Amino acid sequence: MERWYHQDRLLEYQYRIAEFMQQPVSQTFRWLRVIGDTVFAVGALALVIFVIGLIGSFG
């Protein structure tokens, strides 16, 4: 019986999260995160190119 209670609570929680993620504010934050992810990816790529350049100059 306790197992069913926890499954019911989990489904209720998942439903509330799905509903929350569809709100306009949440969608705006998700799109704003793309800016930060892009900056991080460009920085990581620059670091990789820099390290490859350092390794190449020692060879």
Give the model confidence (pLDDT) of 10-28 as tens digits. Answer: 888 888 888 888 899 988 9
Secondary structure of 18-51 as H, E, C letters: HHHHCCHHHHHHHHHHHHHHHHHHHHHHHHHHHH
Q: Does residue 44 surpass a pLDDT of 90?
A: yes
Please report, for residues 1, 16, 17, 18, the alpha-carbon distance to residue 12 in angstroms, rounded to integers and kept in the order given. 17, 6, 9, 10
* Higher per-residue confidence, 44 vs 9: 44
Q: What share of the chain is helix, strand, coil (3-state, %, to 5)?
A: 95, 0, 5
Percent above pLDDT 70 for the chain: 92
> Average pLDDT, whole number, for the chain?
88
Structure confidence at residue 2 as a pLDDT band (50, 70, 90): low
